[in-house]
Amino acid sequence: MTDSLTVRDNRTGAEYEIPITDGTIKAADLGQIKLNDDEPGLATYDPGFVNTASCRSAITFIDGDKGILEYRGYPIEQLAEKSNFLEVAYLIVHGDLPSKEQYDAWVHEITYHTFVHENVKGFMEGFRYDAHPMGMLMASVGALSTFYPESSKIADPDNRHIQIVRMIAKMPTLGAWAFRHAQGKPYVYPDNELSYAENFLSMLFKMSETKYAADPRIAKALDVLFILHADHEQNCSTNAVRSVGSSQVDPYSAVAAGIGALYGPLHGGANEAVLKMLRRIGTVENIPAFIEGVKNGEERLMGFGHRVYKNFDPRAKIIKKACDDVFEVTGVNPLLAVAKELEKIALEDEYFIKRKLYPNVDFYSGLIYEALEFPPEMFTVLFAIGRTPGWLAQWLELTQDKEQKIARPKQIYTGDRGLTFVPAEERWA
């Protein structure tokens, strides 16, 4: 067996031998296939990158057909059950599990960097009272590059490390302040005696008490949610981070681009859209009419379907369990009944079976977030906090990958050519 592809160009009769490596051919190898030397070579057309690998990566493995998700080789189920978010963040960023000393140093570093410059607070206060927290988060993370101008020295490993620590540490502070802003409540400073999730809950919900004590079951559920969101290989926002990062800009600007991508309703914004959809459906009786609308193409069943998972989303299974833990503390969310019935009907319906549409991570996470009294606008912020180590690990990998170049796809030009410009005063005469 030869690891190559023989391509015959039926336009010219010419044959080409193209090497196959790791189940892929190099798109650039197709460039030699030409009608004549004046023509550009053959290219691939792949809107949405549905069958194009853009990098080599050793961070996250997904087998969408089997419902497998692994970070650095460790199954998500084991990490969610036995690890914690900061240990998983270490694993994702560094590639290995930490020793006791490495873990303690990492937790100390992250905890030590949770505060932000007072001027950040100042400009966050300048947002309108009803500003979407994702817009605030995106702007504030982008602005951090101006507080750390040395972050542009991306070839320096120590410099890269400190920016990674800062971003993982400060993301909950910025997210919590965006939340407090919308509520008109004073921003709460980090409490460095608390764990990552507890400190976040404290910055969100603390009022006049001297110390905020989160229910440990809630803190644990939030920590698990962060783990589930920590990385997901080349998704839309990670691709945005890598694409912007490929220009060699600082990591704050690259991650701000990722936050923008995550904001969209087809990506991280889906959990917000799920909750709005469940509220709109309201009761179990309204489900059949809603499903008909989805099948007629009038709307989408948000929280269903995935580009990669075509069997089940392993994160959705773990989230269902976290739902039970949270509802034990908060009481059951009445929309859970609508969600469960919707899932049952959809999983039995030919339309969804044929298209392999199953609940994804966002289907149940919104219910947990609502039970924790987050407004829907905050849901994607929680996703962003969890995804930050993944974005940064992918960015780190990019900066050290000699094969990478600035991202610059081709296009198929469909517009006019060679028109003669007529000045406005002549055209409008």
Nearer to ligand CMC, 190 or 386 (CB): 386
Nearer to ligand CMC, 132 or 232 (CB): 232
**Considering the rule CB under 6 A, would residue 225 count as an interface residue with ligand CMC?**
no
Q: Contact with ligand CMC (CB under 6 A): which of 153, 355, 409, 422?
A: 355
Give the length of the chain: 429
Nearer to ligand CMC, 117 or 300 (CB): 300
Q: Is 37 a catalytic residue?
A: no
Residue nearest to ligand CMC (CB): 305
Nearer to ligand CMC, 155 or 266 (CB): 266
**Considering the rule CB under 6 A, would residue 69 count as an interface residue with ligand CMC?**
no
Binding to ligand CMC by CB under 6 A, coded x per residue (else -) over 249-268, reads: -----------------xxx
**Interface with ligand CMC in residues 299-318 (CB under 6 A):** 300-307
Structure-block tokens of residue 263: 């904001």
Question: Buried b / exposed e across 200-224, counting CB within 10 Å, b at 16+?
Answer: bbbbbbbeeeeebebeeebbbbbbb
**Considering the rule CB under 6 A, would residue 410 count as an interface residue with ligand CMC?**
no
**Considering the rule CB under 6 A, would residue 217 count as an interface residue with ligand CMC?**
no
Number of residues that bind ligand CMC (CB under 6 A): 20
**Considering the rule CB under 6 A, would residue 386 count as an interface residue with ligand CMC?**
no
Structure-block tokens of residue 51: 């069958």
Q: Name the catalytic one among 306, 324, 325, 349.
A: 306
> Which residue, chain included where needed, has tokens 């919104």?
366
Rounded to whole angstroms, the Cα distance separating 222 from 373 reads 13
| Distances, alpha carbon 311 to alpha carbons 1, 65, 75, in Å | 32, 5, 17
Chain centroid offset of residue 176 CA: 18
Q: At 141, which amino acid appears?
A: V
Task: Identify the three-state secondary structure at position 175.
Answer: helix
Residue 351 Cβ vs ligand CMC, minimum distance, rounded to whole Å: 7
Residue 259 Cβ vs ligand CMC, minimum distance, rounded to whole Å: 13
| Cβ neighbours for 11, distance < 8 A, ≥ 6 positions apart | 35
**Considering the rule CB under 6 A, would residue 346 count as an interface residue with ligand CMC?**
no
| Distances, alpha carbon 399 to alpha carbons 58, 246, 269, in Å | 14, 8, 28
| Cβ neighbours for 408, distance < 8 A, ≥ 6 positions apart | none
| Cβ neighbours for 121, distance < 8 A, ≥ 6 positions apart | 177, 187
Q: Contact with ligand CMC (CB under 6 A): which of 154, 164, 197, 357?
A: 357
Residue 212 Cβ vs ligand CMC, minimum distance, rounded to whole Å: 30
**φ/ψ of residue 46, rounded to 5:** -145, 70
Q: Is 306 a catalytic residue?
A: yes
> Which region among 53-61, 104-112, 331-339, 360-368 touches ligand CMC (by CB under 6 A)?
360-368
**Considering the rule CB under 6 A, would residue 361 count as an interface residue with ligand CMC?**
yes
233 and 60 in contact (C-beta within 8 Å)? yes
**Considering the rule CB under 6 A, would residue 276 count as an interface residue with ligand CMC?**
no
**Considering the rule CB under 6 A, would residue 34 count as an interface residue with ligand CMC?**
no
Q: Name the catalytic one among 37, 362, 401, 416.
A: 362
Residue whose C-alpha is closest to residue 175's, from 330, 363, 365, 375: 375
**Considering the rule CB under 6 A, would residue 270 count as an interface residue with ligand CMC?**
yes
CA terminus-to-terminus distance, the chain: 71
Task: Identify the three-state secondary structure at position 263.
Answer: helix
Residue 340 Cβ vs ligand CMC, minimum distance, rounded to whole Å: 17
Nearer to ligand CMC, 165 or 240 (CB): 240
Residues that bind ligand CMC (CB under 6 A): 232, 235, 266-268, 270, 294, 300-307, 355, 357, 360-362
Which of the residues are catalytic?
Answer: 306, 362
